[in-house]
Structure 1
């Protein structure tokens, strides 16, 4: 579960903590946890790092870090420069994420609807899922507008500060939504980010009643977004579709009048398709 990451004294980001479910210690492998912790460290710091930097950011001692780095390098998940003594993620690290996208039937089933929304709006259209307290972008059709925000598939943003995140949170049961907000840092990402828990709860109620959410420069400056929930099997919210545009071209009022109806309609069409897939 990714939150606002803490920084070390050297400016490195530490991997976000995550809540462990009930664990059977007889089956739990701490060595795998250490390996994934190191990979998470590279996710939190997308740049080459030395052994000392990985050790500091991950919290592992240097001996354990060295063994994990050696193993991941041997398995070709990392590369190592003999000149700079730095480690980097290899192209093979993309395989797991790519396999997830290929194994998720929602991605393929909804793509034609993303294309339709993009054609009608002429703006960027995204499909996102909730992962912990973040949304993660799992499909995307970008706008040709040079002023559109740069976000890649696999990118994460705090759910509370985004339109798709709020569209999903608003349609969870109250206990689940409250738990996610309580577990979120609620730190301002931009000067426009809503950080009051009470205001967010009121906003989620509004989203639930209206069927769509709008976030104006709360996660990224210059970006305004409207989103609607996508429902799956048993009418449970499983994703959100959003249209993202530039504040240089769009006002909140115009987004609500022109883009929100497209988002809601596309989300309903997606829900009819996605509801056929039962996912655990």
Structure 2
């Protein structure tokens, strides 16, 4: 049994893969494992660092990196300090977004919501214990990471995550809580299981979820779930603002109807 690293924030960073599967191609898995080592890196990586992070020897890392570099998926950084992901990776991000029917039908709704809200609007999709941002429409104040498609956040402490859990049974909510790496991302991050459950019950009651400074200090976010036809939660729409401009009650009165209407418009497709 091996593991593939995943780009997760506050989520246990491995997923199991079964190498005994007769259709499983180990060479492909090794290449993806090498690409995955960049998820949590803040700098270019040397061959030794790539090999150590990927769990492969230097010789194997060298061969994989060479192949991926020839194909454009890894390149040397501008200052020649090591390796970074290559530009060809963006082709696959584009393919995912343009071929995902949920992203396609959500796009006009998100743009209308951004015009009405005049705050940041995001669409996130669920990947087990995390949400991945698939669309981000910016407001007047942003950090670099708040603009990135593909940025991920944990389910347990986010407005979108709690909006999603509100559409699950208690046993599934408990499973998410138990498997999550419940650490404090900010001093306001709620990590206690009972408090998380209380927030999920609150989201069920209100039809939306609210989070205050749990991912980013000074930020308030409200979210409603995006559902499949059978009611399975697939993701969430978020509106995020600054606590320097909004208090929680005013923010909810202003944006709860908007985010609920937007989610409902997508869910009716």
TM over 0.5: yes
- Within 5 A, what are the aligned runs for 1:28-39? 28-39=24-35
- Structure 1 gaps of 5+ residues are 7-14, 274-280
185, 193, 202: which one pairs with 1:206?
202
Q: Do residues 160 (structure 1) and 148 (structure 2) align?
A: no
Identify the residue that residue 276 of structure 1 maps to in structure 2.
none
* Distance change >3 Å, CA 183–CA 44, structure 1 → 2: same
* Distance change >3 Å, CA 96–CA 123, structure 1 → 2: same
Identify the residue that residue 3 of structure 2 maps to in structure 1.
none
Query: Following TM superposition, by how much is the alpha carbon of 1:147 offset from its aligned partner in structure 2, in angstroms?
Result: 5.3
246, 255, 258: which one pairs with 1:259?
255
2:127 and 2:180 map into 1 onto residues whose CA distance is 12
Q: Do residues 73 (structure 1) and 73 (structure 2) align?
A: no
Identify the residue that residue 90 of structure 2 maps to in structure 1.
94
Query: Following TM superposition, by how much is the alpha carbon of 1:207 offset from its aligned partner in structure 2, in angstroms?
Result: 0.7
Identify the residue that residue 127 of structure 2 maps to in structure 1.
131
* Distance change >3 Å, CA 105–CA 147, structure 1 → 2: closer
CA RMSD of aligned residues (A): 2.2
- Structure 2 gaps of 5+ residues are 1-5
Query: Following TM superposition, by how much is the alpha carbon of 1:83 offset from its aligned partner in structure 2, in angstroms?
Result: 6.8
1:226 and 1:171 map into 2 onto residues whose CA distance is 16
243, 248, 254: which one pairs with 1:247?
243
Q: 4+ residue runs of structure 1 moved beyond 4 angstroms?
A: 1-6
146, 149, 152: which one pairs with 1:150?
146
Q: Do residues 119 (structure 1) and 125 (structure 2) align?
A: no
Q: Do residues 220 (structure 1) and 216 (structure 2) align?
A: yes
Q: TM-score of the superposition, structure 2-length normalised?
A: 0.90
Q: Report the 3-state secondary structure (helix = DSSP H, G, I; strand = E; otherwise coil) of the residue aligned with 2:235.
A: strand
Q: What is the aligned length?
A: 263
Moved more, 104-113 or 38-47: 38-47
Moved more, 75-84 or 131-140: 75-84
Query: Following TM superposition, by how much is the alpha carbon of 1:169 offset from its aligned partner in structure 2, in angstroms?
Result: 1.7
Contact 1:226 1:260 in 2 (8 A): yes
Identify the residue that residue 168 of structure 2 maps to in structure 1.
172
* Distance change >3 Å, CA 81–CA 124, structure 1 → 2: closer
Contact 2:222 2:255 in 1 (8 A): yes
Contact 2:10 2:185 in 1 (8 A): no
Q: Report the 3-state secondary structure (helix = DSSP H, G, I; strand = E; otherwise coil) of the residue aligned with 1:160.
A: coil
Identify the residue that residue 10 of structure 1 maps to in structure 2.
none
Q: Do residues 104 (structure 1) and 91 (structure 2) align?
A: no
* Distance change >3 Å, CA 152–CA 18, structure 1 → 2: same
Q: Report the 3-state secondary structure (helix = DSSP H, G, I; strand = E; otherwise coil) of the residue aligned with 1:135.
A: strand
Contact 2:7 2:13 in 1 (8 A): yes
1:60 and 1:205 map into 2 onto residues whose CA distance is 45
Contact 1:2 1:132 in 2 (8 A): no
1:27 and 1:228 map into 2 onto residues whose CA distance is 39
Moved more, 59-68 or 255-264: 59-68
